[in-house]
Amino acid sequence: MDSLLLRCVLLSLIVFLNLVTSEPQQVNNRPIIAILAQETNEKPNSQMISAVIVNFVEASGARVVPVFINRSAEYYEHVFNSTNGVLFPGGDLDPLLTTGYGKSAKAMFDLAVKANKRGDYYPIWGTCLGFETLSVLSSKQHYPLIKCDSWNVANALNFLIQPEYLRWTRMFRNASNEVIRLLQTENVTVNYHHFCLTPENFEKYGLNEQIMAISTNQDKNGVQFISSMEFKHYPFYGIQFHPEFVLFDFDDDMTAVPHTANAVYVSQYFSRVFVNEARKSFHSFKNKT
């Protein structure tokens, strides 16, 4: 591990031991996950949510409600107060806060930060475009991403933390030794992205002050990028890879997606991590209709 990443990780682990987020002891066994919709090019004002990302959270016992784009602040506040977590999914958009997706993500992110600061537990999960959006939201005045080529590539993860210390992270504290071994040694994660957060930009733009980088990978040209991360003070998580594709997407054009038993086993773990985090939230709709 190079010295830059080593400094980031060691400082992150120290801060992790003093997290300000207080986790509730009770459990909500009927969690509802909000999933961001995104604009499409099919027709004007159209928006969509991929079925595979819905399946991803339903597989671990959560229900789903859509978060539509281009709505009022009151709308996002209502969705936030009625749900137990929000998922920023992957998609075919540039990771910009000027898109409908980006504006919706910022609205939900800001609400989640305020809630967690006052002890109201509310998790965020970002996959691919969602990971990138979390990075942009956290970099203040700077754009931390660069263009890269990690399209249709399956990888093992290069953990920045020794396996025995991964239990210090929230993302992997409940992972079995087998899950960690498979992630390190087999190509069980699949990537479809053209933007990367490099370790250099991670530190240059101050993301390391609030986020812990957990793993890296390299794109087709050898560019190193952060592939999983979690916030130090909030239950917010980001992954650049797509476990939902492993579980539910069998498109013949997506030739790199591993559907092995080991890849499925690992991907199911990530689904459980997020849904179990949502079980710590007790927001609810005021009526069942």
Instruction: State the catalytic residues.
Output: 128, 242
Q: Directed axis angle between helix 177-185 and helix 261-278, to 10°?
A: 120
Which tokens is 252 given? 């013949």
C-alpha torsion angle, residues 102, 219, 59, 42 (rounded to 10): 50
Distance CA(171)–CA(187), nearest Å, equals: 19
CB atoms under 10 Å from CB of 98, counted, come to 8
User: First-to-last CA distance in the chain?
Assistant: 53
C-alpha torsion angle, residues 133, 136, 140, 145 (rounded to 10): 180
Distance CA(48)–CA(50), nearest Å, equals: 7
DSSP 8-state code for residue 241: B
Beta strands in the chain (DSSP E): 32-36, 38-39, 47-48, 63-67, 86-88, 124-127, 145-155, 158-159, 189-197, 211-218, 224-231, 236-239
Residue 46, CB-side half-sphere exposure with 13 Å CA sphere: 6
